[in-house]
Copies of this chain bind each other. A is one copy, B any other.
Amino acid sequence: MTDAHVGLAGQLTRLPQRQVLSDDVYETVKGLIMDSVVAPGTRLNIDALTRELGISQTPIRESLARLESDGLVIKEPLRGYRVSSTLTRAEFEDLFEYRLHIEPWAAGRAAERSSAEDLVRLKDEMLSYTDVPERPDYDSYKAMAGHDQRFHDLVLELSGNETARQSFARTHCHLHLFRLYYGGGIATQALREHKAVVTAVRKGDPEQAAAAMRSHIEASRARLRPVFDQQ
């Protein structure tokens, strides 16, 4: 390796970006929140995290600052951070209303604009999660949630409007929905609905794509709403 490097100055691309500790901490704490290991409302004690993670306070503080911007933690000056609550019903309704405004539009644009390569990416994403177990456990729930998020992000990306994609990403929609555990069992329906969106996009039919996406989101909302009736 050292010998191969000699004489190639300037011809190697820059190494991939390094992962620094604060990034690791961010992902770790995010995972704890996402998996409800730390419950909504829980105070996040910086000194305790220091002890438990075996690192200093500084990267912890930095990652908490980022998580605050993500809406996953709430900072109270001088008193610390706490995990944000899961969505209230009002927030849930706002989110879906917003989705119903943005995502069918995006799907329609994806139908108008997608190249053959784009369609391959859609197909690949659909193939990334097909093994729906009869009795969903936590891992399959998590895998489905991952597919769901990637699918929607991809459609937003194929809409060709990066502002819209980022805006949607910044709602952290699927992260918040993930935290509203609903026991699974509906992956088959969601996959079917995703497939209908993909079919319309492939046909290049924006009206049908928008309608399929709207239908999917409305169904998703209806499936999730009972969560709030149990509280």
Residues of A within 8 A of B (CB): 17-20, 22-23, 58, 61-63, 65-66, 68-70, 76-78, 90-91, 94-95, 97-98, 101-102, 105, 161-164, 166-168, 170-171
A94 touches B163 (CB 8 A): yes
> What 10 A-B pairs are tightest by C-beta distance, nearest first?
A69-B69, A98-B163, A94-B163, A65-B65, A167-B167, A62-B65, A18-B77, A95-B163, A94-B161, A20-B77
B69 touches A162 (CB 8 A): no
Specify which chain B residues have a CB less than 8 angstroms from the CB of A69 in the assembled complex.
Answer: 66, 69-70
A98 touches B23 (CB 8 A): no
Specify which chain B residues have a CB less than 8 angstroms from the CB of A161 in the assembled complex.
Answer: 94, 97-98
Q: How far is the CA of A77 from the CA of B15 in the complex (A)?
A: 12
Least distance between A87 CB and chain B CB atoms (Å): 10
Chain A interface mostly helix, strand, loop or mixed? Answer: helix
B164 touches A78 (CB 8 A): no
Of B17, B22, B91, B98, the contact of A167 (CB 8 Å cutoff):
B98
Specify which chain B residues have a CB less than 8 angstroms from the CB of A168 in the assembled complex.
Answer: 167
B164 touches A18 (CB 8 A): no
A23 touches B77 (CB 8 A): yes
Least distance between A92 CB and chain B CB atoms (Å): 9
Specify which chain B residues have a CB less than 8 angstroms from the CB of A20 in the assembled complex.
Answer: 77-78
Q: Which residue of B lies closest to A22 (CB)?
A: B65
B97 touches A162 (CB 8 A): no
